[in-house]
């Protein structure tokens, strides 16, 4: 896919999101898959947008028409015949199976061909086209290609360091609540989930993403994960085991993921549904996701050493009673896409549902892009979520630091919502404050600006950026702060086995050190 085609895909995603928000009365819903794959469908949507869409939508439609060559994008048209299994690359040298077939017994041949849910055509490339129902190991040095949504059911999938997992369009890896994923990379050889498009032609939404489900508490009855059909029981999750382990994900990158399955039902880069506190998620990067970077649906899972770069919607999203802890998190917005760094909810149907969402964050760097083509917000918290946010750097957000909605005041009074010892830099607007009146008052008159800068909260403001200019470089970023320690007012993280109590500084990276925990295993490819 050319750079021009990749840009067109992102513009079509923006078009779909604006239509979902009601900016075109003549179009109530656009299916992204069809928009990308069917030129006729795309042309019809553009025609209706140009007739009845908002001014913003009409301008976007003009840009799309100028870039659209009228061919399918990212995949063959839906009507084209699909090859279920095909070698990744042809070779004049016979495969191991063909070379050794004469020496194998019939039973051994059958076992070699069937090998638990995947088929190997070349020694280093394995195409995965069936669900994984027995314990399996994906071995170092090999590439595994997901051809479709692959479920891990009643089994443990171990992915060794150095494995590359590539996704065809429409594929995903979904680990059900009775299974485990052990994705164990190392700093020098991470596990990489990425697009199966050639390097230089990859784009957001090339494949689905990684979904991991567990048995920890959630506050949504009969919870089922986004991205799996509602009548498919394999998408169910949640239970009463707060410590339930969904496995281990460490030194793992997830790139170019996220696609819409059906209306308001998208896969994220990494989705964690009902995962418990014994789940290990650390040293994980989600890069250029078409929807959210990482989303938690309930559970108690903790996150440590996390990087989310260039998400086209929210970077970190939570719902349905997530009560996990986070330390050392970097979020980088991109200038042309994205919404909020954080979007937090409790439960849209019942704001008082229990357990209440109430995550705890320490040592976070949120790198916005200021007044660029796409402006961003630091965080929006609504629908009854609590949360505690400390030792953060929130830098260069064009909209505002925070938008609190619904029961914000009562949550603050109850100690369920706190924001202290943070550094706010190069961001003119703290919150909506008294700008909300009448129907626009969605937080019962709560003044975010007064609360954020109340002396007791010990937050600091700075007119210029607290980060180096290349913190906004999408391909070669550097997230170290340029603020001295004495200009920060950090709190000591809680004493626990999870938190690093020595991190008495603002932001995700220790300003005393030249190296950081991002070194070696992260990457920031454009395509």
Is the pLDDT reported for residue 70 higher than 90? no
Which of 115, 235, 231, 219 lies closest to 178, judged by CA? 235
Spatial contact of 204 and 269, defined as CB atoms under 8 Å apart: no
Which of 254, 248, 243, 388 lies closest to 304, judged by CA? 248
Is the pLDDT reported for residue 77 higher than 80? no
Confidence of residue 492 (pLDDT cuts 50, 70, 90): very high
The verdict on whether omega for the bond into residue 355 sits within 30 degrees of 0, i.e. cis, is: yes
Q: Are strands 149-152 and 172-175 parallel, antiparallel or unpaired?
A: parallel
Predicted confidence at residue 349, as pLDDT, reads 95
Is the pLDDT reported for residue 435 higher than 60? no
Which of 418, 393, 429 lies closest to 511, judged by CA? 393
Predicted confidence at residue 510, as pLDDT, reads 95
Question: 141: which residues sit within 8 A by CB, 6+ positions away?
Answer: 124, 162, 163
Which of 10, 48, 51, 7 lies closest to 28, judged by CA? 48
Predicted confidence at residue 440, as pLDDT, reads 58
- Residues of the chain with pLDDT > 90, as a percent, come to 69
Question: 145: which residues sit within 8 A by CB, 6+ positions away?
Answer: 88, 125, 126, 127, 128, 165, 166, 167, 168, 196
Over residues 458-486, the mean pLDDT reads 93
Query: Is the pTM higher than 0.75?
Result: yes
Is the pLDDT reported for residue 180 higher than 70? yes
Over residues 505-512, the mean pLDDT reads 96
Is the pLDDT reported for residue 127 higher than 80? yes
Top mean-pLDDT range of 44-48, 96-100, 288-292: 288-292
Confidence of residue 455 (pLDDT cuts 50, 70, 90): very high
Over residues 339-364, the mean pLDDT reads 97
CA distances from 169 to 209, 285, 336 (A): 11, 21, 23
Predicted confidence at residue 265, as pLDDT, reads 64
The Cα–Cα gap between 175 and 181 comes to 7
């Amino acid at each position: 896919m050319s750079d021009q085609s990749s840009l067109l895909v992102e513009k079509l995603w923006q078009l779909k999101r604006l239509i979902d928000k009601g900016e075109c009365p003549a179009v109530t819903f656009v299916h992204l898959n069809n928009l990308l794959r069917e030129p006729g469908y795309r042309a019809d949507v553009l025609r209706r947008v140009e007739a009845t869409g908002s001014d913003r939508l009409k301008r976007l439609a003009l840009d799309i028409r100028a870039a659209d060559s009228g061919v399918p994008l990212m995949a063959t048209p839906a009507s084209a015949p699909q090859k279920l299994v095909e070698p990744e690359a042809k070779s004049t040298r016979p495969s191991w199976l063909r070379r050794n077939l004469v020496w194998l017994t019939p039973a051994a041949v059958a076992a070699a061909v069937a090998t638990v849910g995947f088929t190997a055509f070349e020694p280093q490339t394995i195409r995965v086209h069936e669900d994984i129902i027995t314990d399996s190991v994906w071995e170092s040095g090999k590439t595994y290609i997901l051809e479709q949504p692959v479920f891990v059911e009643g089994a443990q999938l171990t992915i060794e360091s150095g494995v590359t997992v590539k996704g065809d369009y429409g594929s995903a890896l979904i680990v059900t609540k009775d299974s485990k994923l052990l994705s164990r990379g190392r700093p020098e050889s991470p596990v990489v989930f990425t697009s199966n498009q050639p390097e230089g032609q990859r784009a957001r939404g090339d494949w689905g993403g990684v979904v991991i489900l567990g048995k920890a508490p959630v506050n949504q009855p009969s919870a089922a994960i986004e991205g799996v059909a509602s009548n498919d029981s394999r998408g169910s999750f949640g239970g009463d085991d707060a410590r339930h382990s969904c496995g281990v994900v460490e030194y793992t990158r997830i790139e170019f993921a996220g696609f819409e399955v059906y209306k308001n039902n998208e896969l994220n880069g990494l989705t964690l549904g009902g995962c418990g506190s014994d789940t290990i998620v650390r040293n994980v990067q989600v890069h250029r996701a078409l929807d959210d970077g990482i989303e938690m649906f309930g559970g108690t899972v903790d996150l440590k050493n996390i990087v989310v770069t260039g998400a086209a919607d929210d970077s970190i999203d939570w719902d349905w009673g997530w009560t996990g802890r986070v330390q050392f998190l970097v979020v980088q917005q991109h200038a042309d896409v994205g919404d909020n760094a954080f979007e937090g909810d409790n439960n849209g149907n019942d704001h008082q549902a229990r357990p209440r969402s109430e995550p705890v964050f320490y040592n976070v760097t949120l790198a916005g892009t200021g007044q660029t083509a796409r402006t961003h917000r630091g965080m929006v918290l609504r629908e009854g979520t609590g949360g505690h946010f400390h030792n953060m750097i929130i830098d260069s957000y064009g909209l505002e630091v925070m938008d609190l909605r619904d029961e914000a005041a009562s949550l603050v009074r109850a100690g369920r919502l706190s924001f202290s010892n943070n550094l706010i830099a190069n961001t003119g607007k703290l919150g909506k404050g008294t700008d909300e009146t009448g129907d626009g008052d969605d937080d019962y008159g709560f003044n975010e600006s007064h609360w954020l800068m109340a002396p007791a909260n010990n937050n600091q403001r700075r007119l210029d950026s607290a980060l180096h200019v290349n913190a906004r470089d999408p391909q070669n970023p550097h997230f170290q702060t340029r603020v001295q320690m004495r200009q920060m007012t950090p709190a000591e993280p809680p004493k626990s086995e999870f938190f690093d109590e020595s991190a008495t500084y603002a932001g995700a990276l220790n300003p005393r050190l030249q190296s950081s925990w991002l070194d070696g295993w992260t990457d920031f490819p454009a395509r």
